[in-house]
Amino acid sequence: MKIIGACLGFFLSMLVLSTPDILAQGLFGTISGVITDSSGAVVPDATVKVTNVNTNIVVTLNTNSAGAYVATSLNPGVYDVEAGAKGFKTAVVKGVALEVNANPKINLTLEVGATVETVEVTGENSPLLQTQQSDLGQTVNERELEQLPTSGGTGRNVYSLLSLAPGVSQQTGCDGCGNYGNVRISGSRPRSDDYTLDGSTVTAPVFGGAAVSPSVDSIQEFRIEQNTMSAEYGKAGGAILIAVSKSGTNAFHGSAYEYNRNQKLDARNFFEDPTQRKNPFTYDEFGGSMGGPIIKDKLFFFTDYQGIRFHGSTASAGLTVPDASFRGGDLSALCTTGFDSSGNCTTASQQIHFPGTTTPVPFNKIPTGQISAISQNLLAIWPTSTTPARIGTDALTLSSPGSTSLNRFDPRIDFNLSKADRIFGVLHTQRGRFLGYNLIIGPAGQQTQRSSDYATTEGWTHTFSSTLVNDFRFGYLHRIGDRTPFGAGGASPSDFGISGIPNCLSSVPDTAGGTKCGTPGVAITGYDGIKNDKILYEPASTLQFSDVVNKLLGRHGIKTGTEFRHYSIDNYQPNGVVGQFAFTGSQTGNGFADFLFGVMNNGSVQVQNTFVSSRAWSYSFFVQDDFKLTPKLTLNLGLRWQYDQSYHEIHHGDAFFNPYTAQWEQFGVNAPDTTFDPSKKEFGPRVGFAWNARGGFVVRGGYGIMFPGTVGHGRAGDGQPGPNLLATTTFQVTNWSNLPTVTSPDPSAITAPLPVNGNVSFSSWAPRHQYPTYVQLWNFTLEKQIGSNTIAQAGYVGSHGTHLPINYAYNICQQSPQSTAQLGYSATTSPYCSPLAAQEAGIWNLVVNPGWWGLSSSIYHSLQAKVDHRFSHGFSLLTNFTWSKLIDDSSSDWGGFWSLDVLGQDFYDRRAERSVSAGDIPARLTVAPIVELPFGPGKRWLNNGVGGQVLGGWRMSAIYTISSGSPFGITDNSYGYCNAAHTLSDRPNMIGNPLPSGFQQTPQHWFDTSAFDFSGTCPANFLKLNAGFTGPGDVAKAFGNAPRYFSKIRNPGVDNFDFSVQKDFKIPAGEQTRLTFSADFFNLPNHPEFAEPNADPTVGNFGQISRTALNSRTIQLGLHLYF
């Protein structure tokens, strides 16, 4: 708070004491400058016209008393700037290239003369240096989007080019994953940054990342804005991803395209058997765009369509299915020593019995009349094989097909209502259907996933005067996460004879109104069973309002505004909605015999009667002053306040078990209706400067605080659906033809739970007091313009995350007095402990499920450099280098409750978890050139003739990436329950050097596995259920001394070269009409990008690499028509 107070005081003092000029950043772009005469004196009240070359929309302004002007809220594009005044000639600068969020300074000098005389000023049209901004960023323009090789699992993807910016590192093995949020930007956590499209957030409310990924052809450009950005931006861990869609112009333009990939052109995976045929697939991407005027100079449209179709299959061998004799009930082959005259197997362990008795089944042949009809119905869809395996089984090889169908549509309207008012509206939609199949039952086990996402933004810019402009923005994002179990839409438990299981929610797609919710899950010991997955239907939306006022006040560019966001998440995700049944052999002595008799060892059905519906508001207010202290020094001063509500469930259906009151607490009944107490102290100052030291050299720096937005259902954990929304029925040793009827919970049955006095199930819980997560950001950067088309930049960039959320498990019976007091309770242990101890409850009941709590922190230091040569003379180059170190004690709040990275091995000693981060990439270099061959019409050589036609129009581009590998971590489950049963988080002891001198790393031997000791044991008193446990002192004896992640042992790095070659063919249907052929080669050298080695010491391939992280060489061919 002292830092915030000092920054606020400095900001206010500068606002009061300084004198006037302008600098206003916007979500779109701003052109500003100063008009002077030939003597250098400012010219007040000069008329300035800023004209969009493509739409002829003119913004007319007058300079203020300081001779300054600003044209704000401009769409990215090309502009002419014209200035004139009485007694002076008109000066014009043509072709000013304006990028998103840029603020080029166009200063004009007026000569004495008649206004009708015009002087065209050269050399000022494309200033590369941003001399008035302290933030860092990288813009990827339309040419780079169009001509660099782009790929992704769901089509050519603009977010696959995020790596062109310094400080960006992507998750290992993630192809085009930027839209899913699996990127780190200058030390930020994955999924913590904010994605915006046309000024509104499109960050997925649940999982982070971009909920809507627009087609490449629909995007004008996008920008990675990071570090000390304007106070206008918030709700991010360190970066804002800004994409701007294309607008229509005064001329009709369009495109049509198709791109194709298939297995014939692709290389084999490094680990594939070269004697086997490749898994077949076809990938087809097609679409087009059109834009132009509806009313010239007034009303414009743009729209595009993109379709994606994928069909493929994967062969799986070694599946185990019952052979023909076993299917018919003849299990006599189990008895390898023969039967006596009574039909009893001479080896007792090979004899099966009638369920629940000791009576042998004669000759191990189950009478036909006693085989369950349900089992026979399921066997009818079970595949067969004639390849013998072990006794009673056949080995099955299946081809598992899959398909994707995805459609995107992006219409936009821009309307120049008057000189004072401009409005626009844009809609981005994507609808997809993804089909997968259960390997064991083929098409009958079809699984469907759907995407039905859209985002819309409407904006209104009103100009009150030359010095006062208002921008209003409305945005709405809607996304549906949808996954049905195998067989949904075509099967239900009742189809196989299983009665008593309720329908699923009728609104879930592909379930025939809830009546066909999938094939029951069946697990049989010794066989590959019928697997099933959770059903998921999760509509989520974000409603956004924002209003920003831009005011030119002398030398101040004041921007102030507010932003409201409303989050709505409806979750339906019962586990085992169609039933999960296990046959282990406990009833007959053989799992398949149990199945044929229909007597399960255990089973369960979970019923959820309605959505778990979470709602929350977020409010933000900001003020930003970009103050021109001197002609060469600009100060960027801002302050943002943010208030994030806690999510509340509208049915009062969430509940958790409070270990310190020993009660089930139901939100809104006997507990508050939200999960945590929101903070009112989220003040984020921004302080920066940009000093134009001398011609073409800028020094900039800054400091800021950002508060990332809540992701998912809240920072502090939601509890779990209460008994009025979700109910689980379990079965023990039951014949599935006589299941009891499963009842649905009653959403209106809300009663305050009674105190718990015995065993309870897991429950999410976290203390209500949550420290807000915040990230401090800073940079000091030098930038130099070289010539007219190149800039070079280098700087120190850092960040520090505080109170970062983690999944924290509260071991409620082992709290030290200190940690208990920290949570606000005076008792040494929970009152829940004594009843458990009396009942000798198992250790799993002594632990509360993880809840989110801001206990983690991170620190990031880096040297970031880039060279950006803008396209000229047929060549452009964008290259960046990052040398960095990232340290934390938990690298993500995602990745599984019990993962090494999320929980750690000791909940009470966060210092022992501190190591290099999972996202630490010490060095990363990216080089992206575009080269046009100098042949053909309009080029240097072979302007005419056959040679020009053959050699002309060729263009090559590439993206070369080389980076260090991420650090490697090892888990150890030999300690049993030393960390309260979360065995995947334990670590071994170090007894040697895992990379001794002279050690040669190979995929078969990535490190010396003998350097670790996995024989640790727990201290004798660690699990005692009494108040004598003293906490960290005892725990230290139990856990290994290996770091969470090794700085020296790293996963294989990246060495990838993507290459594209394109050829333009002129078509005599218009000056701009051309047909472009392209061949894209992803991983052109076919260099194997190895994945991480196996980290499980209990398996034989510990320390070995058995798969690749990225695909082998992939070739994509395309035709693209531009007109």
Summarised one tens digit per residue, pLDDT across range 6-49 is 444 434 333 333 333 343 344 678 898 899 988 888 999 999 99
What is the C-alpha separation between 881 and 886, in angstroms, rounded? 16
Most confident residue range from 411-415, 466-470, 601-605, 629-633: 411-415
CB within 8 Å of 474: residues ≥ 6 apart: 200, 457, 458, 459, 544, 545
Q: Which pLDDT value is given to residue 4?
A: 43
Taking only the tens place, the pLDDT of each residue in 615-652 is 999 999 999 999 989 989 999 999 999 999 888 888 88
Provide the pLDDT for residue 663. 65
pLDDT bin (cut points 50, 70, 90) of residue 757 is very low
pTM: 0.87
pLDDT mean over 755-774? 60
Q: What is the DSSP string of 898-933?
A: T-TTTT-S-TT-GGGG-EE-TT--SEEEEEEEEEE-
Please work out, in degrees rounded to the nearest 5, the angle formed at the alpha carbon of residue 572 by the alpha carbons of 568 and 574.
150
CA pair distance 288, 216, nearest whole angstrom: 11
Instruction: Match 């002007």 to its residue by tokens.
Output: 69
Q: Which of 707, 697, 549 is nearest to 625 (CA)?
A: 549
> Is residue 188 pLDDT above 60, yes or no?
yes
Under the banding of pLDDT at 50, 70 and 90, the label for residue 754 is very low
pLDDT given for residue 898 in this prediction: 40
- Dihedral sign for Cα 659, 662, 664, 667, please: negative
Residue 677: per-residue pLDDT:
81
Please state, in angstroms and rounded to a whole number, the distance separating the CA atoms of residues 724 and 332. 49
Q: Where in the chain is the domain with CATH 2.60.40.1120?
A: 26-120
pLDDT digits (tens, 9 = 90+) for 573-618: 888 889 899 999 999 999 999 999 999 999 989 888 888 888 999 9
Question: Could you give the 3-state DSSP secondary structure of residue 584?
Answer: coil
State pLDDT tens for residues 325-344.
Answer: 999 999 999 999 999 999 99
CA distances from 570 to 600, 677, 760, 884 (A): 34, 22, 27, 40
Per-residue pLDDT tens for 795-828? Answer: 999 999 998 877 665 544 443 433 334 434 333 3
Residue 1044 — φ and ψ, nearest 5°? -60, -45
CATH, domain range 26-120: 2.60.40.1120
Would you tell me how many other CB atoms lie within 10 Å of the CB of residue 752? 11
| 775-801 tens-digit pLDDT | 999 999 999 999 889 999 999 999 999
* Residue 391, pLDDT above cutoff 50: yes
Assign residue 748 a region (left: φ > 0; alpha: ψ between -120 and 50; beta: otherwise).
Answer: alpha
- pLDDT at residue 377, as a whole number: 92
Alpha-carbon gap, residue 765 to 761, rounded angstroms:
12
More confident residue, 458 or 403: 458
Q: What distance in Å separates the CA atoms of residue 208 and residue 504, rounded to the nearest whole number?
A: 28
pLDDT at 1023: 37
pLDDT band at residue 965 under the 50/70/90 scheme: very high
Q: What is the pLDDT of residue 1053?
A: 92
% of the chain residues with pLDDT over 70: 81
Give pLDDT, residue 461: 94
